[in-house]
Every structure is written in structure tokens, then in C-alpha cells.
């Protein structure tokens, strides 16, 4: 775990306990933050918090289904009880809707749309709501970082036609802009990160397909393939730190060149 002080004295909530979320939690703790992990997977929360503590960092956790309002409210309240306040949020929790039928919209059942919205949109909404409430109460301001997707603005129809997911991630970008505008006078900053294809559990289908990995190498030339979760965490570290105190309402693509690169099928 990298040791530094870019987040010294800050309390940062991370939603999710694997992939980008885990990379972020480790990175932030290594830079002096007290990290509070929220995920529905209790053992994953405990393992991640224990790993941070074993390396000398400060961490707490709560197991909660972030699509459930009551559980989300209680998890954020638990963070405040244990760590005193919330200064930053790295909102990663979400997932693919493919197993629920997400795909090209003419093939998507209503339930596929609803389930994809629930597992992605509900956590973003509830997390942002509870974070702003806590930051307003403390009157200290803070930084909220939502994780969206490059697919919201740079689609690849031949390989990643999950229209419900793309639409909901696009809604998160709109949410970022509107929240940033409203809460800026209160010192609360809201930004988003739009990752490209990242080597995480969610990308197992892509990572196991030689054609897609070869395509990723062309589409993400700066990465030469799939991005590493730590590269998204690095952007999160910047946006959560005081180094970005003048930045709000922005969506930063961390995509290895995806959004500006043509790649033949």
C-alpha cells in the first residue's frame, strides 16, 4: 500500500468491496484517509477493511444492500458514528444487467431495464443523497465521485450493446452535473469518472474473449488492453483530495484512449 498524506485527516466512504472499489479503498487509506467500506458482501467488507488495517491504515465497514433505502441510511449513519463525519465518497457499487436481459433495446424485457436501473441507479442516488445530507450537516463541504462508464457517451454497438446500462450511466453523468451546480455554494463538489474496459470481475466475459481483448488493445492504446483498477483509483484520489478543490461538475474519462480512438472490428 502506497504511503502518503494527500487525504490525511479525511473520512472517505467507498461503496463496493472489489475491483475498482477495493483498489480505491487501498489507495485512499495509503494516503491517510480513514476509509469506510459499504458493500452487500459482508465477508468482502471485512477482508478489505482488515487488509487496510494490517498495512497500518484506518478502516471501518458496514454490510448493506445499497439498493435498499433503509440499509443505506443506516450504513452511512454507522460511518458517522464510528468515524465522526464524511468528507468524501467514491461511489462504485453497481453491475452488469446482462443476467437480467440487458442488451439491444428491442430485445430487453421491462424487467431487464428495471433490474439494471436498480443495481446501478439506486446505489448512485442513495449514496449521493446520504453523502450530501451528511456533508450539509457537518458544514465542512466534501467531494463526491460517481463511477459511470465510457459506454454512456462512446458506444461500441458491435461488442457492448447493453442499452439499459449505458442509459443509466448517462443518467449518472447528468446527476453529477446537476448536483455539482446545486451544492457548490455549500462547498460540496461532485464529479464523475468514466472508465473504459477495466480488468475487474465485472469484465470477466470480455477478459476471457480473445477477440474482445484484442479489440481492447486497439481501442485503449494507452493501456494496450484492459485498464487496471488502480488507474481509476488514482483519478479518484485526485478528485477526493484538496488538489482538485476548484473542480466540480466534471466527468473525466479514464479510458486508455477509448473515447478518442477508432478501432476496426
Q: Which three cell numbers stand for residue 73?
A: 441510511
151 assigned to some structural domain: yes
Give the three-class secondary structure for 37. Answer: strand
Q: How would you write the pLDDT of the chain (265 residues) with one tens digit per residue?
A: 778 899 999 999 999 999 999 999 999 999 999 999 999 999 999 999 999 999 999 999 999 999 999 999 999 999 999 999 999 999 999 999 999 999 999 999 999 999 999 999 999 999 999 999 999 999 999 999 999 999 999 999 988 999 999 999 999 999 999 999 999 999 999 999 999 999 987 767 777 788 889 999 999 999 999 999 999 999 999 999 999 999 999 999 999 999 999 877 5
Spacing of C-alpha 235 from chain mean position? 11
Whole-prediction pTM: 0.96
193 assigned to some structural domain: yes
Rg (CA), the chain: 18
**Residue 61: which domain range?**
11-253
175 assigned to some structural domain: yes
215 counts as catalytic: no
> Which one of 165, 182, 183, 215 is the catalytic residue?
165
Give the separation between CA 248 and CA 190, rounded to whole angstroms.
Answer: 5
Domain at 90, CATH number:
3.40.50.720
183 assigned to some structural domain: yes
132 assigned to some structural domain: yes
**In degrees, to the nearest 5, what angle opens at C-alpha 194 toward C-alphas 254 and 113?**
150
Number of domains composing the chain: 1
Amino acid at each position: 500500500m502506497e504511503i502518503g498524506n494527500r487525504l490525511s485527516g479525511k473520512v472517505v466512504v467507498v461503496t463496493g468491496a472489489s475491483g475498482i472499489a477495493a483498489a480505491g479503498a487501498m489507495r485512499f487509506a495509503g494516503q491517510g484517509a480513514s476509509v469506510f467500506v459499504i458493500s452487500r458482501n459482508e465477508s468482502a467488507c471485512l477482508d478489505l477493511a482488515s487488509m487496510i488495517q494490517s498495512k497500518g491504515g484506518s478502516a471501518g465497514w458496514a454490510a448493506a444492500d445499497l439498493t435498499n433505502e433503509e440499509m443505506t441510511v443506516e450504513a452511512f449513519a454507522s460511518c458517522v458514528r464510528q468515524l465522526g463525519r464524511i468528507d468524501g465518497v467514491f461511489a462504485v457499487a453497481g453491475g452488469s444487467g446482462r443476467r437480467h436481459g440487458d442488451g439491444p433495446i428491442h430485445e430487453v424485457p421491462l424487467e431487464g431495464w428495471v433490474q439494471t436501473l436498480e443495481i446501478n441507479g439506486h446505489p448512485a442516488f442513495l449514496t449521493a443523497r446520504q453523502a450530501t445530507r451528511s456533508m450539509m450537516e457537518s458544514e465542512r463541504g466534501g467531494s463526491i465521485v460517481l463511477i459511470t462508464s465510457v459506454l454512456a457517451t462512446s458506444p461500441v454497438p458491435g461488442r457492448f450493446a447493453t442499452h439499459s446500462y449505458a442509459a443509466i450511466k448517462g443518467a449518472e453523468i447528468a446527476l453529477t452535473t446537476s448536483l455539482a451546480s446545486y451544492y457548490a455554494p455549500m462547498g460540496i463538489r461532485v464529479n464523475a469518472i468514466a472508465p473504459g474496459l477495466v480488468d475487474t470481475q465485472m469484465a470477466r466475459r470480455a477478459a476471457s474473449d480473445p477477440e474482445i481483448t484484442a479489440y481492447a488493445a486497439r481501442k485503449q492504446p494507452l493501456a494496450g488492453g484492459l485498464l487496471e483498477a488502480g488507474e481509476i483509483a488514482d483519478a479518484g484520489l485526485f478528485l477526493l483530495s484538496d488538489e482538485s478543490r476548484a473542480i466540480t461538475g466534471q466527468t473525466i474519462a479514464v479510458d486508455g484512449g477509448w473515447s478518442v480512438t477508432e478501432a476496426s472490428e
